Amino acid sequence: MLRSFIEKLSLFSRQAEKNDFRHLPSVVKLLKDNPEEVFMTNKLKLNLKTLSQNFSQRFYVFQEYEHESRQFEDPFSINVADCEDSGVQLELIDLKNHELLKIAFSTGDLIAFYQLMDEKAFPKLKSHALYIGSMLGATYVSEQSFSLPSTPRLLCICDVILL
């Protein structure tokens, strides 16, 4: 959700530079009703550009750790051959063939999924989950809360710590 927002913001900024406000219907309507509002569009362009740059800089760390983040968010989608750590490769193979964990993952509750994961059977994956969970902290939990509205309870940072 955060990545999506940053990409959309960047798109809006690039389009605004070309006076293309198709994704901003309120601006289109305002300009149609008041074509002399050039000052407003210049200010909007500057604000969109600044906001886009600030988000990109602030959340650069997420781009830097995208592979690690993906492994945390969906370990079943990771190509085993892409992992450099041989221990992680073996754990991923075991994980992909563990029916109970597949079912737990399919519920969409990552916290419960990682809590079910046996630390002795999956020490590297569990350690990685703790690392990424603590690194992403409240931002990840927040993103999950909004992207999974069917989750019956609100997730909190305490749940990440309980991994």
Q: What pLDDT score does 154 carry?
A: 44
Are 43 and 72 in the same domain? no
Are 57 and 118 in the same domain? no
* Cβ–Cβ under 8 Å, residues 117 and 125: yes
Are 105 and 149 in the same domain? yes
**Tens-digit pLDDT string for the chain (163 aa):** 677 888 898 899 999 999 898 998 988 888 888 877 777 788 888 998 998 888 877 777 666 677 777 888 899 999 999 888 899 999 999 999 999 999 999 998 888 899 999 999 999 999 999 888 787 665 555 555 555 444 444 444 444 444 4
Are 120 and 149 in the same domain? yes
Q: Max CA-CA distance within the chain? A: 68
Are 48 and 113 in the same domain? no
Are 22 and 57 in the same domain? yes
Are 36 and 90 in the same domain? no
Distance, CA of 69 to CA of 107 (rounded, Å): 19
Burial of 38 (0-12, 13-18, 19+ CB in 10 A): exposed
Are 115 and 83 in the same domain? yes
The domain in which residue 26 lies consists of 2-63
The three-point CA angle 96-100-101 to 5° equals: 50
The three-point CA angle 156-162-98 to 5° equals: 110
Distance, CA of 129 to CA of 136 (rounded, Å): 10
Taking the model in full, what pTM does it have? 0.52
Are 141 and 79 in the same domain? yes
Are 96 and 109 in the same domain? yes
Chain centroid to Cα 65, Å, comes to 11
Are 79 and 23 in the same domain? no
DSSP character at residue 152: S
Are 151 and 109 in the same domain? yes
Number of domains into which the chain is organized:
2
The tally of CA atoms less than 13 A away on the side-chain side of residue 78 is 26
